Amino acid sequence: MEGEPISARKRASREATEWSILLHDDSDNADLRRRFDTWRAANPLHAEAWSATERASGLAAEALPAFAHEWPAQAERLPDTLPAKRSARRPAWFVPAVSFALAAAAAFVAAPVVLLRLQADHIADTAEVRTIPLEDGSEVTLGPASAIAVAYQAAERRVKLLEGEAFFAVKPDPLRPFRVEARAVEASVLGTSFDVRLDEGAVTVAVAEGKVRVTGAATPELLGAGQTVRVDRAGLGTRGSEPPEMVSAWRHGQLYLQNRALGEAVDDLRRYFPGSIVIADLGLAGRPTTGVFNLGDPEEALRGMAQAHGATVRRVTPWLLIVSRL
């Protein structure tokens, strides 16, 4: 769907991949099938993503007989702890079929990513952090998998966050307000430092220093240092707080979480991992997570998050991590 944000397409494709894994692993579970049908019917984008995954599964079914003699040997190379090796229910085609599903997910978001690159003035790739000096002396630090478009005019300085997260250190200029637009949310300042994160479900603004006015919420918010607001798609703003020194902790290689849902935390972590992370147990995604995690080792950070919820992380391929209950 052309008009959908890239983050929405990414989430739909990822969820389609997760459903593919769950349904193949437990095909006789009627309750699981009902929950899948509800998910697919909830959003046209879900149905589109599932169709892409199904097409890939069809290709896998056609291709696997030709290479069937190779997969048992590949499976033997997997660690004994992996479910692909130890589960009697899981067929031999599980690993290659998941690989096809992941390829479908990548293809599903490929065209919007091309469009993003045409719209953006500055982009940071996966696991890349970039600091960009602007023409007025302000600086923008882009988090991984993030993009901005810059439009400076005589009466204002405007930056649009197209994807991901960015930290803004703004040089004061009372005659030219500095505005950051993220979806329907706008953060306005004269000179300060603050962070804006664009997720599929919300926009979050966090202030490190000074004051920031946030509009786009049902009630405009004026934030000071250490204050945050999360504005969902309905325009509902939820105030919060965090230590000012932890705002944009990702710039220093740390992921700071304070009662963030595990699924949202994993969304942040995905921008640092050059592959796919799948939460195979959907009940885990909403679990609140608190802590400080090392972004220099995203797999180890994921294991720390999972351990806090009695879950485990399994590496199925070098590019696929699966989170599930112990």
Q: CATH number of the domain that 288 lies in?
A: 3.55.50.30
What pLDDT is attached to residue 102?
57
What pLDDT is attached to residue 107?
53
Is the same domain home to 194 and 277? no
161: domain CATH number is 2.60.120.1440
Token pair of 214 as six digits: 């946030």
Of 227, 248, 269, at which residue does a domain stop? 248
Phi, psi of 173 (to 5 degrees): -160, 95
- Output the CA–CA distances (angstroms, integers) from residue 119 to 149, 151, 162, in the order listed: 7, 12, 8
Q: How many CA atoms lie within 13 A of 106 on its CB side?
A: 11
Place of tokens 């608190």: 290
- Is residue 1 included in any domain, yes or no? no
- Is residue 23 included in any domain, yes or no? yes
Ranges of H-type helices in 227-297: 262-270
Is the same domain home to 159 and 217? yes
Strand partners, 230: 204, 238
Is the same domain home to 305 and 262? yes
Of 84, 119, 154, at which residue does a domain stop? 119
Phi, psi of 178 (to 5 degrees): -105, 120
Is the same domain home to 56 and 148? no
Is the same domain home to 132 and 240? yes
- Is residue 68 included in any domain, yes or no? yes
Query: Considering only CA atoms, which of 126, 156, 130, 160 is closest in space to residue 142?
Result: 130
What pLDDT is attached to residue 67?
41
What pLDDT is attached to residue 33?
87
Is the same domain home to 133 and 238? yes
- Is residue 173 included in any domain, yes or no? yes
Q: How many CA atoms lie within 13 A of 227 on its CB side?
A: 14
For residue 296, count other CB atoms closer than 10 A to its CB.
11
- Is residue 76 included in any domain, yes or no? yes
DSSP reduced 3-state for 113: helix
Render pLDDT for 232-282 as a digit per residue (tens, 0 to 9).
Answer: 988 999 999 999 999 999 999 999 999 999 999 999 999 999 888 888 777
- Is residue 261 included in any domain, yes or no? yes
Is the same domain home to 173 and 238? yes
Q: Which residues contact 100 (CB under 8 A, 6 or more apart)?
A: 56, 57, 59, 60, 63
What pLDDT is attached to residue 105?
57
What pLDDT is attached to residue 242?
94
- Side chain identity, residue 128: E
Q: Report the domain count for the chain.
A: 3
Of 119, 143, 178, at which residue does a domain stop? 119
Residues 223, 228, 232, 233, CA torsion sign: positive
What pLDDT is attached to residue 153?
94
Is the same domain home to 267 and 203? no
Is the same domain home to 41 and 85? yes
- Is residue 58 included in any domain, yes or no? yes
Range of the domain at 271: 253-325
Is the same domain home to 109 and 10? yes
Is the same domain home to 284 and 241? no
Is the same domain home to 171 and 276? no
Contact 208, 248 (CB under 8 A): yes
Q: What is the pTM of this model?
A: 0.73
- Side chain identity, residue 208: A
Do strands 157-169 and 178-182 pair parallel, antiparallel, or not at all (unpaired)? parallel
DSSP reduced 3-state for 141: strand
Spell out, as residue ranges, where the chain has pLDDT lower than 70. 1-7, 25, 55-117
